Chain A
Amino acid sequence: MSMDRREFIKIAGLTSLVGAGASGAFQLLEPGVLDAATHEEHGHGDAAHGQAEEQASGPKVRWAMTVDVRKCEDPEVVKRIVTACHTAHNVPDFGNPKDEVKWIWADTYEHAFTDSANEFMDKSIEHLPFLLLCNHCDDPPCVRVCPTKATFKRPDGVVAMDYHRCIGCRFCMAGCPYGSRSFNWRDPRTVLEGKPYNPNFPTRMRGVVEKCNFCVERIWKGLQPACVEAAPDVLTFGNLADPDSNVRQILRVRVSMRRKPELGTKPSVFYLV
């Protein structure tokens, strides 16, 4: 099955001009098919065009992710996911907790769902690794507190960072209730030297905050996020605003949880248990 980017964007609902009939096709795709369709580095399709229209007619896209926790049991799977993301985005590994920078990582249930601890819970869940990343909240506190709009919410729901503008005040780190943000306490390039890297993605500089960007540089091209591509059976990425999308279909039939729902941030990352 092959499809060009234009078609993907239509199907993903990026443009309102497309007939409703086409929008059901997205979730029929196997994850990974998308990247086979569009992988040339210099391509530039109609995404920009589509987004402009989308802005005019209200949000038609809200990107979201589901994490099938039971499929994370194998530590190799977690490692594959983390490595895929951190290599794709040139995330530095300082090797010590004080300087640590991370976009996606695994932690226990107890740490991920701090207010939902249940001592009588199924022991198998207790020891499962929960993948943690930026929740791309619908009502993100980090965006609210940022004094320069260096972190902002895009029309498609992605909470993005403008590293050119960040002054490094770290108010967003205090504001994020999920511990999703890291600060570059040192020059990240000192530890990226000689490591596997992505030549088409920048690094960051010392003194700015960074975090998961939901792979905006990939979804724009019709690709799945790097983590989803690394483990398509664990992670599903799709449009929450479309009632027929892959993620909506999953959420309809599976029991899902979001982290700290009582805070009203409405995360876009759902955990399937």
Chain B
Amino acid sequence: MTADAPAVQAHDLIKTYPGGVRALDGMALTVAPGTVFGLLGPNGAGKSTTVKILTTLARPDSGTALVAGHDALRHPDRVRRSIGVVAQRSGADPVATGRENLLLQGRLYGLRGAGLARRADDLLARFDLVDAAARQVKTYSGGMQRRLDVALGLVHRPEVLFLDEPTTGLDPEARTAMWDEIGRLAGDEGLTILLTTHYLEEADRLAERIAIVDRGRVVAEGTPDALKGELHGDAVQVELRDAPDAVDGHLIATALGEFGGVRDVTLDGRRLSARAEDGPAAVPHVLATLEQQGVTVASVTVARPSLDDVYLRYAGRRFADADSGTAPGAGVPAPAQAAAPANPSGGAR
């Protein structure tokens, strides 16, 4: 595989499960080598099915999938040698020790003898499992099991590592530790990571590029910042010392709106909110205008749009609603809709 060829490239994947459930409906993605790519979407969006196809477990009804330069449909064996897989369910043998699990995994890739033993020791040390190496995996905590799973996926030094919901079911502390670990992996030379998650925060924090998946296809793709940037505008929230009366309020809103880049000004009691193309740059103008109007400011906050806003915009529903399986639209309350910065002029920033 050449240096700049994509590590993963999937085109128009369709997969229908018995019973007519269409899990994938034109899924397509391209992952550049050496990057961390996040597939973000609620449960049932098609993330796991995509991973199963790319890791040769399942076959699509149609479409193509290239992984590490090999055709996953025609040469699954070559793909298997090049990838490491950390599935949603642990998969480690609970009766075997951590070390035995690693040794067996290595043997399946043809590693033997002293080289394999050294590799297992390195991984045990790296994932902080040295003390637990000789203990049966069934005695491990959730976080330890997950670390062992990642170690199992790395034993043969794969080119592409698949992490399918790596932190689901972990407590917050273990999750943070796992994030740090994945962050370090991303620094490994040449390792490409394809991560699926239904945690917005996780995708935001770990992935260089994100594809938002909904109903079996990618609805938006880009860097987290670009995706958020496409929403056109940061939220600027100003807390006033005293609530102005209706007439003053109208004057303030009109004055603020005269600036380029500040819009959607609303006043609710002492709370004034607006959207600005570039929030931090707009703050001095906002403050100066308010001072001219004789209004005292208690506090100002500027917030970048969250991936939740992005998801709402592209999938047409709030992430949490989609995740709990709510029918589209049905669970989206009107105020949340109003908060969506559905800017008709949206596009380039």
Are A and B co-members of a single complex?
no
Taking Cβ atoms with an 8 Å cutoff, the residues of B that contact A are: none
